Amino acid sequence: MNCHQINENLSAFIDNELSSDDTNIVKAHLIRCSSCRQQRDKMEEIGRNIRYMAPLTTPADFEFRVFAGIRKHEARRTNRFFWRWQTILLPAACLIVGILLGVTSNSVFNFPESSLLTSSESTVESDSLVAVSDQEILYDYHLGRFARRAIIPVAVDVIPESPDVFDSLSFDEQSGFDSGISPPPQYVLDNIPMRVSYERTIY
Amino acid sequence: MTENYSSEQETERTMPISDDDLMCRFQKGDESGFRRLLERYQDRILNYIYRMVSDRHLAEDLTQEVFVRVYVHAGRYHPGSSFAPWLYRIASNMAINELRRRKRWRFVTINNNPSESDRNVVVDIKDEDSVDPEQVVQQKEASEEVSEALKKIPDKYRAPLILRELEGYDYEEISQILDIPRGTVKSRLNRGRALLETVLKRARSVNAVAF
Ligand SMILES: [Zn+2]
């Protein structure tokens, strides 16, 4: 192996992930090549520096927060279940009432046309920049009825996503985990607000 | 029944219960299994996600969501398989999704001056006076540097690097967690390390000019 080939394998060498034959070849090369030795030392140093990065610890109320999240999720699931039944039972009830009364009525659970938002697919425009990332149907306890809630992220100065960055990493499609519905209200990178999102309930 | 319970306690004292056992208990309805796993992994997952998204609050929220998913989707875990790679896979998906979403709404940074934070490194050596303070300062500065450099390399190289260096996973496990072939893990780690070194070299030369 020449220096270039050794370099290609150095990373796996320090991780002990080469076959024993290749390991011996790299070892033999390192004994006589100072530039590859230097390269190995640099890689090992970087690893050390990564391992020494100051660790974070979870806040004291973390377990509480997790369980609050679980309860919220369960409540949402129950609401969805009821909603699913409402979509079947209510029109059926309307139909029966309609037939009985001779009146056709299906407006009980219809949302006004203006509030219908396309779900999932995000659209980002350069100036107004209102994008709908997700929406869901929830039971609104204050109103005492079902409401459609949409999460609307708002941002400014957006540049398009470069698709090649994530080419072969797999996402939710594989494991079936959907991306979280509600992004945190706001986060900041390099002290510049990147995205402000808020939840709006639309009736 | 009581006897059974105490012998179980005895075993636990001598040998910690495996993740898989705890997960199986949880699948059978024993919530303490989940609580124990949460306790075991919450800090590790927080650190992994934090290194991916570089934002503490966001990392906490995502870590919380990871464990909500473990709880809700516990049924998808196959008993007898290893729990940690499964957990890290959920965490990876969360972090990568977030990064992908963030890219979609990415800001054009006007004031691109990241070296500012590099110069304001706060060094706390109170607890470490047993070792050479000079060395501690150097180590901390080097780790700060590498932490900043990590943010600048593409996510697809950062993820395997953190899983390898910080979490200590081998290539096979990383391949499972990120769902990429082992050969890709190998090449991305090699490329990632080379990229990191280039970024560090550049940062050092910029700082040298600045001082
Ligand atoms: Zn060489």
- The answer on A90 and A126 residing in a single domain is no
CB–CB contacts below 8 A, A to B: 191
B210 occurs within a structural domain: no
Q: How far apart are CA B73 and CA B77, in angstroms?
A: 8
- The answer on B141 and B74 residing in a single domain is no
- Taking an 8 Å cut-off on Cβ atoms, the answer to whether B105 and A158 are in contact is yes
Share of chain B above pLDDT 70, in %: 78
Nearest CA distance, B172 vs chain A (angstrom) = 10
B45 confidence band (pLDDT: 50, 70, 90)? very high
The answer to whether the complex's ipTM is over 0.85 is: no
- Taking an 8 Å cut-off on Cβ atoms, the answer to whether A171 and B96 are in contact is yes
What residue numbers bound the domain in which A8 lies?
3-51
B206 confidence band (pLDDT: 50, 70, 90)? confident
- The pLDDT tens digits for A127-167 are 333 334 445 555 545 555 555 555 444 333 322 333 322 22
Nearest CA distance, A51 vs chain B (angstrom) = 5
Q: Does B136 touch chain A (CB under 8 A)?
A: no
Q: What is the pLDDT of residue B110?
A: 34
Q: How many CA atoms does the CB half-sphere of A134 hold within 13 Å? A: 13
- The answer on B138 and B173 residing in a single domain is yes
pTM listed for this prediction: 0.64
Q: Which CATH number do you get for residue B156? A: 1.10.10.10
- Taking an 8 Å cut-off on Cβ atoms, the answer to whether A171 and B55 are in contact is no
Instruction: Answer yes or no: is pLDDT of B12 > 80.
Output: no
Gap from CA of A43 to ligand 1 centroid (Å): 14
Q: What does the pLDDT average to over A54-69?
A: 94
Instruction: Answer yes or no: is pLDDT of A70 > 60.
Output: yes
- The answer on A117 and A103 residing in a single domain is no
B118 occurs within a structural domain: no
- Taking an 8 Å cut-off on Cβ atoms, the answer to whether A52 and B156 are in contact is no
Q: What does the pLDDT average to over A73-89?
A: 71
- The answer on A134 and A80 residing in a single domain is no
Average pLDDT across chain A, whole number: 63
3-class DSSP string for chain B: CHHHHHHHHHHHHHCCCCHHHHHHHHHCCCHHHHHHHHHHHHHHHHHHHHHHHCCHHHHHHHHHHHHHHHHHCHHHCCCCCCHHHHHHHHHHHHHHHHHHHHHHCEECCCCCCCHHHHHCCCCCCHHHCCCCHHHHHHHHHHHHHHHHHHHHCCHHHHHHHHHHHCCCCCHHHHHHHHCCCHHHHHHHHHHHHHHHHHHHHHHHHHHHHHC
Q: What is the pLDDT of residue A92?
A: 73
Q: What is the pLDDT of residue B159?
A: 96
- The answer on A151 and A103 residing in a single domain is no
Burial of residue B81, with CB atoms counted within 10 A of its CB: 0-12 exposed, 13-18 middle, 19 or more buried: exposed
What residue numbers bound the domain in which B166 lies?
132-205
Q: What is the pLDDT of residue A119?
A: 36
Q: What is the pLDDT of residue A94?
A: 66
Gap from CA of A51 to ligand 1 centroid (Å): 27
- The pLDDT tens digits for A184-200 are 333 323 333 333 333 33
Looking at A99-113, A117-131, B42-56, B196-210, which range is the least confident one? A117-131
